Amino acid sequence: MSETAPTSEAPKAKPKAEKPPAIENLPFDEFINTHYLPALTKAFGKQGVSDLQLEFSNSQVRGLWAKGLRQFTVYFSKSDINAQKAFSCADAGRSPSTIEPFLIDERKAPLDLLVFGVIQRLTAQKWLQAN
C-alpha cells in the first residue's frame, strides 16, 4: 500500500485585467475628437461661454465664440499631442497676427494641461469672465 501525500494546490492568481491605454496614448485624431474637444467645451462652459464652436482639421484645433468675434487656434506640428505646439488668438473677427509657442516647457501634454493652457492664455487676454 502506497500512500500519497495530499497535494495542496496554491490558489491560482487572478489574471490581471488589462488596463485600457491612457487617453493620451490613443491615436491623435481619436484623442482630439473624443476627449480634447469635449473637454474644451466643458472648460469654456465653466467660464460662462455658451456659444463655443470648435473645429479640428489639419492638426489644428480652432475655436470661435462671442458670435464669431473671438477665436483661438492650437497648432500641432504633427499628429502627436506631445509634439511642438503653437497658439494664436484674434478678436473683432480679425485674422491672428501672431503665432506663439504653446506649452513649450512641457515634455508631455496630458489632456488637463492642454485644456488649462488654452483657458489660461485666453484669461490672460481678459477674454473669459471678468478678471
Q: What is the pLDDT of residues 84-109, one digit of tens each?
A: 999 999 998 788 888 999 998 878 88
pTM to 2 decimals?
Answer: 0.80
The overall longest dimension of the chain from CA atoms, in Å, is: 98
Q: For the residues of 19-61, what is the DSSP string, one character each?
A: PPPPGGGS-HHHHIIIIIHHHHHHHHHHTT----EEEEETTEE
Q: What is the rounded average pLDDT for all residues in the chain? A: 86
Task: Give 114's contacts (C-beta < 8 A, 6+ positions apart).
Answer: 36, 39, 74, 81, 103
